[in-house]
Amino acid sequence: MSEPRYILAIDQGTTSTRSIVFDDQARVVATGQAEFAQHYPEDGWVEHDPEDIWRDTLATAREAIAEAKLAATDIAAVGITNQRETTLLWDRATGEPIHRAIVWQDRRTADHCATLKAAGHEVLVRERTGLLLDPYFSATKLSWLLDNVPDARARAERGELAFGTIDCFLLWRMTGGRVHATDATNASRTMLFDIHRQQWDADLLVLFDIPASVLPEVRDSSSLFGHCVPELFGAPIPIAGIAGDQQAALIGQGCFERGSAKATYGTGCFMLLNTGDKAVRSENRLLTTTAYRLNGKAAYAIEGSIFVAGAAIKWLRDGLGLITHASQTDDMATRVADNGGVYMVPAFVGLGAPHWDAHARGLITGLTLGSSAAHVARAALESVGYQTADLVAAMIEDGAARPSALRVDGGMSANDWLCQFLADILEIPVERPANLETTALGAAFLAGMAVGLWDGPEAVKALTRQDRSFTPAGDPQRRADLLAGWRKALERALA
Ligand SMILES: Nc1ncnc2c1ncn2[C@@H]1O[C@H](COP(=O)(O)OP(=O)(O)O)[C@@H](O)[C@H]1O
Ligand SMILES: O=P(O)(O)OC[C@H](O)CO
């Protein structure tokens, strides 16, 4: 029998679950996808039903294997990538979660965070975890579960409960409750993990009142985590790669060198810049995080997020009725010679990094009777470029190396005009891969490296293919003028 040469990647995201089978040349062979329900039990609360997630994981994985016309024995390994920070607590004996998952977007612990911040604890959190003391991360969500689900704390103290992010829960279920582990990238987003020493932090466990008994073991992102119980797919396929979705995209884009960077443009944008073995500390409220951990060695990244990227284009369509399809913005932006002095600051939900202004609100400035729908569309696309430029400037100010190129992915990266504008405004080449499924590909790379399908980072990097590279053009004065115009508009939007 020949060696299995395919990898199954599971990408469990915030709104959908995808399973993709890749061949040994990193080509997509088959895909299964399912969207699942979002629960908003109260204002600012967001929950997922873990049984939906488990059901869709199995169904999409089986669908992808069947569509690829493969047997489980053809799959060399499974890789898992996931929405990060989302928090679960389950019963070790039954595998039943004691509550729905609290999603990363959930703000119910804002007061808890504010209290800890007021007491001066943010310094410790920043130093150990590289994060901000914010409800975004798992720690206060976990302590909420312990304090609000009847009996939870007592049961946790007795060692009956297990905590995990989505990767960890899926691993537990796939191994039939045999393995309680996560990888270093996911652990880095819990606000309980010391990213420098790469271990759970005793002081933070005290600060957030978390019993150590609930914690999973933390392993390298590319390593043998366990085997699927054979009943799931028909063979005990090894689970050999795990990473949070933004880190997985970094890996899927082949960003293994210091100074390499990726930005994913979907609803919002997550940008990660690889800083190598140096954990760069941000003075601009960017996040420092583990990019991946291979052979016991952690690589770090500095991360910035923009809340509104593609959502601005969606608003042109659904809010203004200016377009019927997002891709029309490409032609509209091309049609006008310049932005005609029109700027959009898409602060619909405040502004993220590096401005961090929750009360900022959106605006369009510079309108004249000569302004057209095309100018507004162009201003929306340009705003994504300016926000990215602000992130890159903050990263460099923090001492990170200037990115050698920006690798883009996500739905919005299909827009050629935007990619060229990004190259011009950042003054760095923008590269778009042929396969935009970089997140799943990153999980596949991690799994494939662990089982010897691929030799290591150099080998997987050689498998990434570019669709197009956008070279910076345009004159420096024009760029300076555009950035000055953006800054003026930005100042008006800040609260
Ligand atoms: N050609 C395009 N030009 C501009 N924006 C686009 C284009 N195609 C998609 N988008 C935007 O990208 C977003 C969808 O990207 P996707 O990666 O699927 O997002 P998410 O994973 O966050 O749901 C939408 O907000 C849409 O408006
Ligand atoms: O599931 P996504 O793609 O929205 O990503 C969510 C991020 O991991 C949150 O930190």
Query: What pLDDT, on a 0 to 100 scale, did the predictor assign at position 400?
Result: 85
CA 443/CA 80 separation, integer angstroms: 6
Ligand 2 site, residue 247, Cβ cutoff 6 A:
no
| Ligand located closest to 272 CA | 2
- Ligand 1 neighbours by CB, cut-off 6 Å: 266-267, 310-311, 313-314, 326-327, 329-330, 410-412, 414-415
Tell me what ipTM this predicted complex has: 0.97
| Cis before 472? omega within 30 | no
244 strand-pairing partners: 82
Is residue 230 located within the same domain as residue 263?
A: no
267 is in an annotated binding site: yes
Answer yes or no: is 491 within a domain: yes
Tell the residue number behind the tokens 């873990």, with chain if given: 50
> Of 172, 207, 236, which residue sits at a domain end?
236
Cα(246) to ligand 2 centroid in Å equals 7
Mutate which of 10, 11, 12, 14 for ligand 2 pocket (most atoms within 8 A of beta carbon): 14
Render pLDDT for 63-80 as a digit per residue (tens, 0 to 9): 999 999 999 999 999 999
Is residue 270 located within the same domain as residue 134?
A: no
80 strand-pairing partners: 10, 242
> Of 190, 210, 236, which residue sits at a domain end?
236
Is residue 228 located within the same domain as residue 309?
A: no
> Of 207, 236, 265, which residue sits at a domain end?
236
**Taking a C-beta distance cutoff of 8 angstroms, is the pair 28, 18 a contact?**
no
Answer yes or no: is 385 within a domain: yes
Is residue 228 located within the same domain as residue 264?
A: no
Measured from the Cα of 85, ligand 2's closest atom is: 10
310 is in an annotated binding site: yes
Per-residue 3-state assignment (H helix, E strand, C coil) for 425-494? HHCCCEEEECCCCHHHHHHHHHHHHHCCCCCCHHHHHCCCCEEEEECCCCCHHHHHHHHHHHHHHHHHHC
Mutate which of 191, 246, 306, 413 for ligand 2 pocket (most atoms within 8 A of beta carbon): 246
Answer yes or no: is 192 within a domain: yes
Answer yes or no: is 246 within a domain: no
| Ligand located closest to 417 CA | 1
Q: What is the CATH number of the domain that holds 87?
A: 3.30.420.40
Answer yes or no: is 458 within a domain: no
Cα(476) to ligand 2 centroid in Å equals 35
**Taking a C-beta distance cutoff of 8 angstroms, is the pair 422, 271 a contact?**
no
Answer yes or no: is 448 within a domain: no
Is residue 116 located within the same domain as residue 208?
A: yes
Q: What region, left, alpha or beta, does residue 264 occupy, with left being phi > 0 and alpha being psi -120 to 50 degrees?
A: beta
Is residue 199 located within the same domain as residue 317?
A: no
CA 225/CA 166 separation, integer angstroms: 15
Query: What pLDDT, on a 0 to 100 scale, did the predictor assign at position 349?
Result: 82
Query: What pLDDT, on a 0 to 100 scale, did the predictor assign at position 356?
Result: 82
6 is in an annotated binding site: no
Cα(83) to ligand 2 centroid in Å equals 4
CA 318/CA 302 separation, integer angstroms: 33
Which amino acid is located at 487 in the chain?
R
Answer yes or no: is 12 within a domain: yes
Query: What pLDDT, on a 0 to 100 scale, did the predictor assign at position 419?
Result: 98
Which residue ranges of the chain lie beneath pLDDT 70?
1
Query: What pLDDT, on a 0 to 100 scale, did the predictor assign at position 1?
Result: 54
Gap between the terminal Cα atoms of the chain: 66
Is residue 88 located within the same domain as residue 173?
A: yes
Answer yes or no: is 396 within a domain: yes
Ligand 2 site, residue 310, Cβ cutoff 6 A:
no
Which domain range does residue 24 map to? 6-236
Is residue 69 located within the same domain as residue 159?
A: yes
Is residue 155 located within the same domain as residue 225?
A: yes
Is residue 224 located within the same domain as residue 364?
A: no
Is residue 214 located within the same domain as residue 357?
A: no
Is residue 176 located within the same domain as residue 264?
A: no
Number of domain units in the chain = 2
